[in-house]
Amino acid sequence: MYLLMIQLMLHAWSDEDCVKVLRKCREAIVGKNNERGKVIIIDIVIGETEDDDAEATATKLFFDMLMMTVVTGRERTQREWEELFSKAGFGRHKITPMFGLRSLIEVFP
């Protein structure tokens, strides 16, 4: 099984660039013998749970503004992450809130 890990990188890129990277990741984890793997992404997910308090949401939105002004990226909601995964050819994913503002995102072909 192949495993790739991306940490706090995709939020700095546009949707188009993220899809390109994720497609390459998908190609890498689906080995020549059709073995399956997964991509692990550690990044911010805005409004992923109703348990997010106002301070955590405000901080995530601050990072969103920072990404939009400094680089071409942005922070994404769960739905926006799902759209990226779908466009890159992934079949399913799992998002687990942890690491303070960050979440563990597992993506499977």
11 flagged as catalytic: yes
- As a whole number, mean pLDDT of residues 83-109 equals 91
Looking at 10, 11, 19, 44, which residue is catalytic?
11
For residue range 22-63, what is the model confidence (pLDDT) as tens digits?
Answer: 999 998 888 766 667 899 999 988 876 566 677 777 777 777
Q: What is the pTM of this model?
A: 0.83
Strand partners, 5: 40
The CATH number of residue 85's host domain is 3.40.50.150
Number of domains in the chain: 1
Structural domain boundaries enclosing 28: 3-108
- For the chain, strand residue ranges (E) read 3-7, 38-46, 76-77, 92-97, 102-108
